[in-house]
């Protein structure tokens, strides 16, 4: 396991990799225990492609990431995170909609989907910020709602008004 820290419009991001695959992208001030922990040796030169793709994303020229990922979690959490990866850039889903899209009953699974969403260790790349409340409200984001609002606003730039996310 190795890590580095890189700069972004959201502040410093901690990047962690296991065997060459991104296993964490942590925003400043993340509050959940699941995103804490030792990150291995510092290895700045092993994250060039991640930095390039993040720079392109924040510059508005990348809408999809193409990086090897290592999703570290339970089978259920990985199922939810794989569902997050299918939410297109500039779109959102409610927790219930995400539950339905991964084959669960929304009425009974929304909270579990929300809990798994909140344990996502690879923010931005695995776009947990694209999940909102059923009423369209911004809810739950480990690094704070202002950062979630920033990411959704960034992805909404240049889109016609009827496609604005919130």
3-class state of residue 122 by DSSP? strand
Task: Spell out the domain ranges in the chain.
Answer: 2-58, 75-163
Parallel, antiparallel, or unpaired for β 2-6 and 21-26?
A: unpaired
75-163 adopts what CATH topology?
Arc Repressor Mutant, subunit A (1.10.10)
pLDDT per residue as tens digits for the range 93-107:
999 999 999 999 988
Q: Above 60 in pLDDT, residue 166?
A: no
The reply to whether domains 2-58 and 75-163 share a CATH topology is no
Q: Above 60 in pLDDT, residue 161?
A: no
For the chain, what percent of residues have pLDDT higher than 70? 90
- Which carries the bigger pLDDT value, residue 164 or residue 158? 158
Query: From the CB of residue 166, how many other CB atoms can be counted at a distance below 10 Å?
Result: 13
Task: Note the pLDDT of residue 44.
Answer: 94
- Report yes or no: 27 and 123 within 8 Å, Cβ to Cβ: yes
- Predicted model pTM: 0.90
Structure tokens at 27: 């925003």
Positions annotated as catalytic residues are 128
Signed CA dihedral, 154, 87, 82, 93: sign only: positive
pLDDT per residue as tens digits for the range 17-63:
999 999 999 998 876 544 456 788 999 999 999 999 999 999 999 99
Query: Which helix or strand (DSSP H or E) is residue 100 part of?
Result: helix 95-101
Q: Above 80 in pLDDT, residue 158?
A: no
CA dist 72 → 8, 30, 62 (Å): 24, 17, 25
Q: What is the CATH number of domain 2-58?
A: 3.30.160
């Amino acid at each position: 396991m190795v890590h580095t820290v890189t700069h972004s419009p959201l502040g410093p991001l901690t990047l962690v990799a296991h065997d060459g695959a991104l296993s964490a992208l942590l925003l400043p001030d993340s509050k959940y225990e699941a995103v804490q922990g030792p990150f291995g040796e510092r290895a700045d030169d092993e994250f060039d492609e991640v930095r390039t793709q993040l720079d392109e994303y924040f510059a508005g020229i990348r809408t999809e990431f193409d990086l090897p990922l290592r999703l570290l979690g339970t089978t259920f959490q990985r199922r939810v995170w794989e569902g997050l990866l299918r939410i297109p850039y500039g779109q959102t889903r409610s927790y219930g909609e995400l539950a339905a899209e991964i084959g669960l009953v929304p009425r009974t699974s929304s909270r579990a989907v929300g809990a798994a969403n909140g344990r996502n260790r690879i923010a931005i790349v695995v776009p947990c910020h694209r999940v909102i409340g059923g009423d369209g409200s911004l809810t739950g984001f480990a690094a704070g709602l202002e950062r979630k609002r920033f990411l959704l606003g960034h992805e909404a730039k240049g889109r016609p008004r009827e496609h604005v996310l919130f």
